[in-house]
């Protein structure tokens, strides 16, 4: 028997709405939370992360940027946030070498951009966030909970 996954689809019509959705999720994260982000270039993954950071009480003075070239950014807040971009990695072994397992098992939350490239390393309990460009400023964001912690995060959105 396969476990039922909790899923929610949200349409945002502006960067501000994407930030707000991320903030609602960021306020619900707990230590060990993992968010797996997928979407094409320019779909809004980093804007979503900016919202998550805001909801996690990351100070406004801390820049939240894509870690494409540095691979990992860490942001302070209610929980440490580890923002990982796997676009330039060769695969799961590279992410493992960066200490991914320690981050997941630590006292913070982890956000992984281009998570489809390292799917095999994602913990069983994670929130999968897929962002699709559906208009000039419109995005369709599919949120799927894989596990009880991710389900608890989605419940804050009324799921």
**132 C-beta neighbours (distance < 10 Å), count:** 16
Strand 72-75 relative to strand 34-39: parallel, antiparallel, unpaired? Answer: unpaired
Under the banding of pLDDT at 50, 70 and 90, the label for residue 99 is confident
pLDDT above 80 for 91: no
Judge whether residue 93 has pLDDT over 90: no
Sign of CA dihedral 97, 93, 153, 150: negative
pTM: 0.91
Q: Would you call 155 helix, strand, or coil by DSSP?
A: helix
Tell which wins on pLDDT, 133 or 104.
Answer: 133
**Does the pLDDT at position 143 exceed 50?**
yes
Nearest by Cα to 38 from 136, 137, 140, 124: 140
% of residues, the chain, pLDDT over 90: 71
Q: Check if the beta carbon of residue 128 is closer than 8 Å to that of residue 45.
A: no
Look at residue 1 and tell me whether its pLDDT is greater than 60. no
Evaluate whether residue 1 is within a structural domain: no
Asked whether residue 142 is domain-assigned, the answer is yes
How high is the pLDDT of residue 140?
A: 98
Task: Specify if 24 maps to a domain.
Answer: yes
Compute CA distances 16 → 13, 44, 120, 143, whole Å: 8, 11, 32, 18
Give the chain's mean pLDDT.
91
CB atoms within 10 A of CB 85: 24
**Residue pLDDT, tens place only, 32-51:** 999 999 999 989 999 999 99
> What CATH number has the domain bearing residue 99?
3.40.50.300
For residue 7, give the 3-state DSSP assignment: strand
Domain-embedded: residue 132: yes
46, part of any domain: yes
Q: Residue 94's domain spans which residues?
A: 6-155
Write the CB contacts of 99 (distance below 8 Å, at least 6 apart in sequence).
none
- Domain presence at residue 101: yes
Cβ neighbors of 136 (< 8 A, separation 6 or more) are: none
Q: How many domains does the chain have?
A: 1
């Amino acid at each position: 028997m396969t476990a039922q996954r909790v899923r929610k689809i949200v349409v945002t019509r502006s960067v501000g709405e994407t930030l707000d959705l991320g903030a609602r999720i960021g306020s619900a994260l707990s230590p060990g939370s993992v968010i797996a982000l997928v979407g094409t270039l320019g779909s809004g993954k980093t804007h979503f992360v900016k919202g998550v950071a805001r909801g996690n009480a990351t100070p406004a003075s801390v820049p939240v940027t894509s870690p494409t070239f540095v691979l990992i950014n860490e942001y302070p807040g209610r929980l440490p946030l580890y923002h990982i971009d796997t676009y330039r990695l060769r695969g799961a072994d590279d992410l493992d070498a960066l200490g991914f397992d320690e981050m997941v098992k630590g006292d913070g939350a982890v956000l992984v951009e281009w998570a489809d490239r390292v799917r095999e390393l994602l913990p069983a309990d994670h929130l999968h966030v897929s962002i699709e460009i559906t208009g000039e400023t419109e995005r369709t964001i599919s949120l799927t909970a894989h596990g009880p912690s991710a389900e608890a995060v989605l419940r804050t959105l009324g799921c």
